């Protein structure tokens, strides 16, 4: 008899459950793998999910050895289930948290699919809402048919992957997000912007941020890298901030007004670090810009979106026409 499917609200304990399983796997695999990553809906804060942890063991070689080690530690190898380069395993005991385990070839189509979907859902509050709504409907209609539930998510997942691969995203925090958004949205190659909050404790709202949730006011930027490069975006970012200022931009003071660059692609990190190191020569004080990725971005309330378009005389700490100074 098929087990009835159910969705749970996001649980902070899922992070601990993943860490526990990851530690177990690291201890038995030793150096056979490249990485162990938390994937699927339980890895996305605020997203409803089946309470089962999805985990990828990332490998470049040693697959046969990985399979043997896992089989010797109470996992059953289930093959690829039709997905090339993604190998499934079932844990046979009940002394670990319930989880789905896969070994995925680094750089493969499946590897990138998982990371791209996760990245998009961390960034896009709109897509998180769409995905949650769809999953709730599918659970209601297919409570005992896991295959149908999974297959009917395919269209939306494909849309998310297409969106992630046709537009690049990056998130900048540089003081009050009204002005930062207004500045960047006027640049050629910037296709879409959204203001929101990032890198704090728990889910948040503007009220919670003001009360000290620790989030930074930030702007999500979707851009066409064929029109505007990452370097040019960084040039513009430095044009509107004091990169040495801590928890302050313009007249705005508070932790929510700190500077940061977030949710860049992992392969972009060396370039960003080199860029900051090069620009450091222009300043006597050390540059104080946070660099973090794989964080959840919470879209701000509607009245904050495109604020200066709606309020022509609204507050702005940024000189909007200063983009002309960037060559």
232-236 average pLDDT score: 98
List, for residues 198-214, the tens digit of each pLDDT value.
Answer: 999 999 999 999 999 99
22-45 average pLDDT score: 97
Cβ(219)–Cβ(195) below 8 Å: yes
List, for residues 109-153, the tens digit of each pLDDT value.
Answer: 999 999 999 999 999 998 999 999 988 888 887 666 667 767 778
Catalytically active residues, by annotation: 176
Give, for 194, the enclosing helix (H) or strand (E).
strand 190-198
66-74 average pLDDT score: 98
The yes-or-no verdict on residue 223 having pLDDT over 70 is yes
168-325: which CATH number, 3.40.50.720, 3.30.1060.10, 3.90.550.10, 3.30.70.580? Answer: 3.30.1060.10
User: Quick one: pLDDT at residue 105?
Assistant: 97
Percent with pLDDT over 70 in the chain: 97
Q: What is the mean pLDDT of the chain?
A: 93
Question: Which sequence spans correspond to the domains of the chain?
Answer: 13-164, 168-325
Give, for 86, the enclosing helix (H) or strand (E).
strand 86-91
For residue 315, CA distances in Å to 180, 197, 218, 309, 312 come to 12, 19, 16, 12, 9
Asked if 13-164 and 168-325 have one fold, the answer is no
The yes-or-no verdict on residue 1 having pLDDT over 50 is no
250-263: burial string, b at 16+ Cβ within 10 Å, e else? beeeebbbbbbbbb
Please tell me which residue, 138 or 62, carries the higher pLDDT value: 62
Please give the Cα distance from 134 to 76 (Å, whole number).
Answer: 31
User: Quick one: pLDDT at residue 2?
Assistant: 57
List, for residues 247-279, the tens digit of each pLDDT value.
Answer: 999 999 999 999 999 999 888 999 999 999 999
73-87 average pLDDT score: 96
Name the pTM for this structure: 0.84
Superfamily of domain 13-164: Beta Polymerase, domain 2 (3.30.460.10)
């Amino acid at each position: 008899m098929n087990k009835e499917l159910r969705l749970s609200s996001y649980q902070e304990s899922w992070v601990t459950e993943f860490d526990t399983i990851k530690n177990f796997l690291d201890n038995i695999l030793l150096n056979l793998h490249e990485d162990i990553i938390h994937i699927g809906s339980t890895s996305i804060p605020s997203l409803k999910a089946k309470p089962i942890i999805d985990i990828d063991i990332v490998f470049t070689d040693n697959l046969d050895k990985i399979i043997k080690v896992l089989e010797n530690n109470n996992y059953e190898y289930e093959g690829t289930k039709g997905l090339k380069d993604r190998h499934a395993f079932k844990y046979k005991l009940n002394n670990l948290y319930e989880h789905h385990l896969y070994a995925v070839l680094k750089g493969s189509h499946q590897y990138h699919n998982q990371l791209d979907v996760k990245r998009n859902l961390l960034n896009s509050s709109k897509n998180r809402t769409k995905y949650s709504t769809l999953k709730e409907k599918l659970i209601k209609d297919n409570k005992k048919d896991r295959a149908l539930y999974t297959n009917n998510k395919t269209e939306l997942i494909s849309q998310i992957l297409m969106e992630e691969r046709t537009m690049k995203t990056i998130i900048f925090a540089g003081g009050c997000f009204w002005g930062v958004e207004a500045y960047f949205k006027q640049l050629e190659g910037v296709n879409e912007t959204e203001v929101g909050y990032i890198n704090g404790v728990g889910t948040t709202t503007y009220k919670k941020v003001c009360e000290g949730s620790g989030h930074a006011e930030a702007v999500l930027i979707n851009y066409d890298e064929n029109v505007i490069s990452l370097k040019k975006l960084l040039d513009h970012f430095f044009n509107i901030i004091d990169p040495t200022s801590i928890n302050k931009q313009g007249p705005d003071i508070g932790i929510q007004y700190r500077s940061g660059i977030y949710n860049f692609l992992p392969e972009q990190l060396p370039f960003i670090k080199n860029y900051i190191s090069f620009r450091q020569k222009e300043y006597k004080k050390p540059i104080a810009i946070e660099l973090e990725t794989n964080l959840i971005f919470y879209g701000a309330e509607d009245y904050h979106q495109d604020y200066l378009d709606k309020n022509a005389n609204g507050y702005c700490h940024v000189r909007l026409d200063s983009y002309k100074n960037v060559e």
